[in-house]
Amino acid sequence: MSQPPSGRVSDGGPGTEVPTCPRHPDRVSYIRCQRCRRPVCPDCQRSAAVGVQCVDCIREQAKGERPRVTVFGGRAGADRPYLTIAIIAICVLVWLGELASPRVFQEVAFAPFLGTSEPWRLITSAFAHSPYQIMHIGFNMLALWMIGGYLEQMLGWARYLALYLVSALAGAVTWLLFQPAMSTTPLVGASGAVFGLFGALFVLNRHLGRDSSGMVAVIGINAVLGFVIPNVAWQAHLGGLIAGGLLALAIAVSRSRGRPALAWVAIVGVLVIVLALGVAKYAASPAPVPLPFA
């Protein structure tokens, strides 16, 4: 067994001539941790309710504590909305790619005639925006930044991501229902997902008893703009809004009943309904007439 240097005992016990910090034996300290009573140097001290504690005791205490969560299961006190930032970054990068090459737009945009052969475009189109209208991406990203972080912390990243993607898909499918199955009109934009967040925020705030008058005004203004401004897919806004509201209602009910699994059942249920509507649209549409060989 090794012995401490002559004249110093690292644990500061009886017979110690000069107490030293266990983590830094070359540093003398007459201040002790309030929990373990070992000497603690200034670098290893952490303020406590009374006196100080050492970093080792702080770390052990943190392991035994349950993480704080919000009323809807999100992580309370999250530092930054990393998922929201990531979504915004992806949208901006795709938009910059569209500016650099029209090929990017052609590869990610959704058009009804591509629905049966490339159905993933229903989702990829939600991360693209019109390269000719900076306000298109500007408004969507601003709205996402303003409310996305709040919802991400409230719901947790998993439910927040599910809410965003299902709302985006619901918006695209709702728009599809109003288009000819073989239409070549493209659809891009995160508006369906953003309106899903609008709907979710309204429902969750109402559940918590918080004022939602501002959100009603925002939804109303944007609903009117959808009919006034040309080339705005108001159907996507409506579909995303309804899906987001339904998912938020399910999350609120699951919280009230103390059964968080109900929220995931509802998320899967809404997703199945949205996909079924898309399939039914193509099933009810007449098959395209094959072109004769030249």
Taking only the tens place, the pLDDT of each residue in 235-266 is 999 999 999 999 999 999 988 787 888 899 99
pLDDT band at 233 (very low <50, low <70, confident <90, very high): confident
Residue 136: the pLDDT is 87
- Of 237, 254, 256, 285, the catalytic one is 237
Mean pLDDT (whole number) for 82-105: 95
Residue 49: the pLDDT is 66
Can 207 be counted among the known catalytic residues? no
**Minimum mean pLDDT range among 54-58, 130-134, 228-232:** 228-232
Is residue 176 within 8 A of residue 151, CB to CB? The reply is no
Q: Could you tell me the maximum CA-CA distance found in the chain, to the nearest angstrom? A: 103
pLDDT band at 30 (very low <50, low <70, confident <90, very high): confident
Q: What is the DSSP string of 4-45?
A: PPTTEETT--TT-SEEB-SS-TTSB---B-TTT--B--GGGE
Report CA-CA distances (Å) from 62 to 34, 65, 68, 117. Answer: 16, 5, 11, 52
Q: What's the predicted TM-score (pTM) here?
A: 0.73
The token pair that represents 227 in the structure block: 């009919």
Can 129 be counted among the known catalytic residues? no
Is residue 257 within 8 A of residue 207, CB to CB? The reply is no
Task: Dump strand ranges (E) for the chain.
Answer: 8-9, 18-19, 45-47, 52-54
32 by DSSP, 3-state: which?
A: strand
Residue 147 is inside which H or E element, if any?
Answer: helix 134-155
Separation between Cα atoms, residue 181 and residue 284, nearest integer Å: 9
Share of the chain above pLDDT 90, in %: 47
Separation between Cα atoms, residue 93 and residue 137, nearest integer Å: 11
Is residue 192 within 8 A of residue 172, CB to CB? The reply is yes
Residue 226: the pLDDT is 62
Amino acid letter, 95: W
Check pLDDT > 50 for residue 5: no
- Of 191, 207, 256, 285, the catalytic one is 191
Phi-psi map region of 285: left, alpha, beta (phi>0 left; psi -120 to 50 alpha): beta
110 by DSSP, 3-state: which?
A: strand
Output the average pLDDT for the chain.
83
Report CA-CA distances (Å) from 180 to 105, 113, 130, 174, 176. Answer: 21, 8, 22, 12, 8
The closest alpha carbon to 197, from 237, 158, 234, belongs to: 237
Residue 176: the pLDDT is 95
Check pLDDT > 80 for residue 229: no
The token pair that represents 45 in the structure block: 């001290």
pLDDT band at 294 (very low <50, low <70, confident <90, very high): very low
Residue 79: the pLDDT is 66
Any bridge partners for residue 45, and if so which?
Answer: 54
Q: State which fold the 82-282 domain adopts.
A: Rhomboid-like fold (1.20.1540)
Which of 130-153 are b and which e, b meaning 16 or more Cβ less than 10 Å from the residue's Cβ? Answer: bbeeeebbebbbebbeebbbbbbb
Q: Give the tens place of pLDDT for each residue, 277-291.
A: 999 999 987 755 444
